[in-house]
Amino acid sequence: MKVPRVWQRGSKDMTAMPHPRHRTAKKPMWIIVLLSIVCVSLIRAYVYPPRRYSTCYFFASSVCTPFKDWLPAVTRRELTDEEVFSSVVIRDLLSMPMPVSKNPKIAFMFLTPGSLPFEKLWEKFLQGHEGRYSIYIHASREKPVHSSPLFVGREIRSEKVVWGRVSMVDAEKRLLGNALLDIDNQFFVLLSDRFSIILAKGFLSQFSSSMLISFFFAWQLYSTTYI
């Protein structure tokens, strides 16, 4: 039977083993220099704050001038004709006092491709309320043939309209623009050619500031179709 031998390290072995070498830690000089520069810059900015915000306040103007020559010149975008006209109109509208109408009216703005099929119905609805409404027609495809004298001469300058396209928005803006020319128009209703309304007795005779709300309430009760 083998007896395991226990080996004990003696003093001779200790002297034979190499001693670990102690390396001298190098001081991170670049970190110290960087922190010193940052501290000096912060102290200088606190003691001598710049009078104006500029990227060259640390240097002289003679040093910054050559760098400014390399920068691209700041060019202002040229406005289009529509942007110029819009800015002028908005400026004039904001400077004008709010017009006060002595005879407030409601503007019916019809967006239609051609003739209106319910002109006779609208004539009966508006009968007896002359001077309390205005009619504007935007016919995009063909010149409408009128069956009621109330709609004769109510067309505005029209262009082709495609459903769901931006041309439809342009037509609505065109109708609203013509309606705004009359300062008596205080309420505006956009209608299609298929919109019809059954007569509501005394509807326009009770015209007041709640006219627009009353109109849509009457439409919910008596309308047959709306596109």
Per residue in 120-172, pLDDT (tens digit) is 888 888 888 888 899 999 998 888 888 889 889 899 988 888 888 888 999 99
Per residue in 3-56, pLDDT (tens digit) is 455 445 554 554 455 555 555 555 578 788 888 888 888 887 766 665 554 445
Inside any domain, residue 39: no
Structural domain for 132, as ranges:
105-222
pTM higher than 0.75, yes or no?
no
Inside any domain, residue 122: yes
Residue among 156, 104, 105, 149 at smallest CA distance from 124: 149
Q: Are 110 and 137 in contact (CB under 8 A)?
A: yes
Inside any domain, residue 87: no
Inside any domain, residue 54: no
Inside any domain, residue 89: no
pLDDT over threshold 50, residue 199: no
The tally of domains found in the chain comes to 1
Inside any domain, residue 40: no
d(CA 50, CA 157) in angstroms, rounded, equals 61
